[in-house]
Amino acid sequence: MKKEQQKKIIEALLFLSEEPVKTDKIAVVLSTSPEEAEAMVEELQDDLSSSGRGLQVFETAGGYRMGTLPELAPYLEKAFSEDISSNLSNAALEALAIIAYNQPVTRIEIESIRGVRSNHVIENLIKRKLIKISGRKDGPGRPILYGTTADFLRYFGLKDLEDLPQLELLDLDQDGVSTQQQTDNNPVDI
Amino acid sequence: MVQQAEYTIKLPTFEGPFDLLFHLIKKAEVDIWSISIADITEQYLAYLQSMKELNLDIASEFLVMAATLLRLKSKLLLPRSPRAENLEEEEELFEINSAEELFQRLEEYRAFKEIAGLLRQKEEEQKKVFLRSTGGQKVMVFSQQESVYTIWEGAHHLSDIMTRFDKIARAREYVPAFSAVEDFVVARKADYIQSLLQQSKRAMPMKTFVTESGLWELIIVFIALLEMSRQRKINLLQEKPFGPILVSLKS
C-alpha cells in the first residue's frame, strides 16, 4: 500500500474514533508493523502542521487522537459553549499528584502527605473516574489502594505515567509513603 | 447603640496546615531548611488567631499542627531526655517529633504542590483542545466503557463461601441447631484446620474440614475459616466461578 493511502486511512480512523487509537490497532488496519504505523502517524502529524490545518494528531493515554489546535479555542468556544465540567479543585490536584507518583497508595498515606483528611476529595476523584480502587494493601485493616485511570492520562493529555513531570524531592527518604505492592495472590499449590 | 463596623477582610484559604506553613515560609522568603521554629510557630498562631476573630471555622488539623509546633518549640528549650521521647504518642496525621521531620514533611508537601500546579497547567492546555467525536465538548468527556471499581477479590470470596455453605446446608437438609457458638470451639476447629493443612502441605478443598454432619459443625468451620482468613493465616482460592474453594496456609 502506498504511503499516501496509509496516511489517508489513519486520518480517517482518528477522525472517527472516540477513544485514543493504539499503534497496534492502526497496524492491524493497515496490515503493517506497529513501527511502520507509528512512522506513518508521525508523518501525518507533520503533514497536518505544515499544511496549515486546524487539526492536530496528538498522543494521549497510550494512543493517538485527533483534536483541534489549542489556539483556536477562543473561536470554537463561541460555537460550542457548553462546558460540561468545571476545573478540578486545588485539593483534588494535590491528591491526584500524590496518587499519581505513589500508586498504589492508601488514603492514610495521601492524608499524611497533605496533612488533611482527604476522604471527600478521593470520593470526588473516583466519581470523575480520574482514580480507581486498585486493590487492598496487605496489612492491618486491609486498606483500599488507589491508582490513576486512563481517563487521568486523557484529562491531562499525558502519553503515559512516564510522561509526568519529574518529582523534585530534596534530600528526603520516603518513609511516609510506602508503595508496597500487594502480593496477596500467590498461586496456591494444589 | 453599638456601631458595627462593616468591612470584609479577605484571608487566603489553605488546603491544610502544611499549605499554611508553606505560605508563611514563602512570605518570610527563606527556604524550608532554614526557618526558625519559634518564628514560624508565632506566625502560625497569629494566623489562627485572625481566623478565630473572623469567626471562621478552624479545621481540627490546623489545631493539631499548632499543638505540634508548640511542642517542637518547647522541646528546643528543654534539655533532651532520650527516655521521654520514646514514650510520646502522636496523632497519626502528624507523627512529627523533630524540627527536621517537620521540614522534611514540608519539603515533601512542597514537591507535590508543585506537581499539582503543573497538572493545573496541563488541565488548562488540554481544555483548549476540542475533539470531533464528542460534538465540541472537551477532552474530559470520559469514556463510558471503563469501569471505576475493581471489586476486591476478598469480598468476592466471602460471598462465594457463604453461597457454597448455604448450598451444602440445603442439599443435606440439615436441621438447624440453635446453640451458641463459643469461642474455644471455633479456636479448636481453627487449630484442627491448621494442623490438617500443615500435614498435607498443600491446598485442600473446604469440605475436608467438615468431619461430622450437622449445621452446627458447618457454622463452626465457616467462622473458623473467616477468622483464619482475617488473621491472614490462610489463602482462599477459587479457580473458576462456582468451582471448589481451596484453602491453603499462607507461607
Segments forming the whole domain that contains residue B218 = 153-249
Question: Which pLDDT score, from 0 to 100, does residue B176 have?
Answer: 53
B45 and B108: one domain? yes
User: Taking the domain A3-79, which CATH number applies?
Assistant: 1.10.10.10
Q: Taking CB atoms and an 8 Å cut-off, how many pairs form between chains A and B? A: 190
B66 and B108: one domain? yes
Q: Does residue B85 lie within any of the structural domains?
A: no
In angstroms, the separation between the Cα of residue A23 and the nearest Cα of chain B is: 19
Task: Note the ipTM here.
Answer: 0.72
B108 and B184: one domain? no
Question: Which pLDDT score, from 0 to 100, does residue B249 have?
Answer: 86
B93-108: b (≥16 Cβ within 10 Å) or e: bbebeebebbbbbbbb
Q: Does residue B147 lie within any of the structural domains?
A: no
Residue-wise pLDDT tens digits, B56-92: 777 788 888 888 888 888 877 777 665 555 444 444 5
Taking CB atoms and an 8 Å limit, are B119 and A76 in contact across chains? Answer: no
B-chain residue closest to A88, CA distance: B120
Taking CB atoms and an 8 Å limit, are A94 and B130 in contact across chains? Answer: no
Nearest to B203 among A169, A174, A188 (CB): A188
Measured CA to CA, the distance from residue B172 to residue B161 in angstroms comes to 17
Q: Is B123 on the interface with A (CB under 8 A)?
A: yes
Task: Tell me the CATH number at B209.
Answer: 1.10.10.580
User: Taking the domain A90-163, which CATH number applies?
Assistant: 1.10.10.10
Which band of pLDDT confidence, cut at 50, 70 and 90, is reported for residue B220?
Answer: confident
Domain ranges of chain A: 3-79, 90-163
Question: Which pLDDT score, from 0 to 100, does residue B136 have?
Answer: 40
Q: Which amino acid is at B168?
A: I
Residue B7 pLDDT > 80: no
Residue-wise pLDDT tens digits, B124-178: 888 888 876 544 443 332 333 333 333 344 455 566 667 777 777 776 665 555 5
Question: Which pLDDT score, from 0 to 100, does residue B177 have?
Answer: 53
Q: Please report, for residues A83, A124, B112, the alpha-carbon distance to residue A161 in angstroms, rounded to integers and kept in the order given.
A: 27, 21, 15
Q: Does residue B11 lie within any of the structural domains?
A: no
Question: Which pLDDT score, from 0 to 100, does residue A122 have?
Answer: 93
In angstroms, the separation between the Cα of residue B180 and the nearest Cα of chain A is: 27
Domain count of the fold of chain B: 2
Q: Which of B31-45, B63-77, B189-203, B228-242 has the highest mean pLDDT?
A: B189-203
Q: Phi and psi for A21 in degrees, rounded to 5?
A: -100, 125
B109 and B196: one domain? no
Q: Does residue B61 lie within any of the structural domains?
A: yes
Segment A44-57 shows an average pLDDT of 91
Which DSSP symbol is given to A70?
Answer: G
In angstroms, the separation between the Cα of residue A69 and the nearest Cα of chain B is: 6
Give Cα A60 distance to the centre of its chain. 7
Q: Does residue B227 lie within any of the structural domains?
A: yes
B48 and B102: one domain? yes
Domain A3-79 and domain A90-163 have a common topology: yes
Residue-wise pLDDT tens digits, A84-122: 557 888 889 999 999 999 889 999 899 988 888 888 899
B105 and B196: one domain? no
Measured CA to CA, the distance from residue A189 to residue B2 in angstroms comes to 82
Measured CA to CA, the distance from residue A66 to residue A10 in angstroms comes to 10
B115 and B158: one domain? no
Q: What percent of chain A has pLDDT over 90?
A: 29
Q: Does residue B6 lie within any of the structural domains?
A: no
B21 and B99: one domain? yes
